[in-house]
Structure 1
Amino acid sequence: MRVHDGKVAIVIGGTRGIGAAISRRLAADGASVGATFLSRSDDAERLSSELSSAGRHALIVQADVSDAGALNDVMNQIVQHFGRLDILVSVAGTAIVGPLEDYPDGAFDRSFALNVRAPFLAAKKAAGLMTEGGRIVTIGSIVADRMPGAGGTLYAASKAALGGMTRGLARDLGERGITANLVQPGPIDTERNPADGPNA
Structure 2
Amino acid sequence: MEGDEEKFVTPGEVLGKATELKAGKGAYVSADDRTVYASLTGFRSLTPPPEGSDDPRPTVEVKGHKAHGPVPEPGLVVIARVTKVMAKMASADIMCVGPKSVREKFTGIIRQQDVRATEIDKVDMHASFRPGDIVRALVLSLGDARAYYLSTAKNELGVVSAESQAGATMIPISWTEMQCPLTGQVEQRKVAKAGA
Q: When the two structures are superposed, what TM-score results if normalisation uses the length of structure 2?
A: 0.24
| Higher percent of residues as helix | 1
Point out the structure with max Rg over C-alpha: 2
Larger RCO, structures 1/2 (Cα 8 Å, 6+ apart):
1
Q: When the two structures are superposed, what TM-score results if normalisation uses the length of structure 1?
A: 0.23
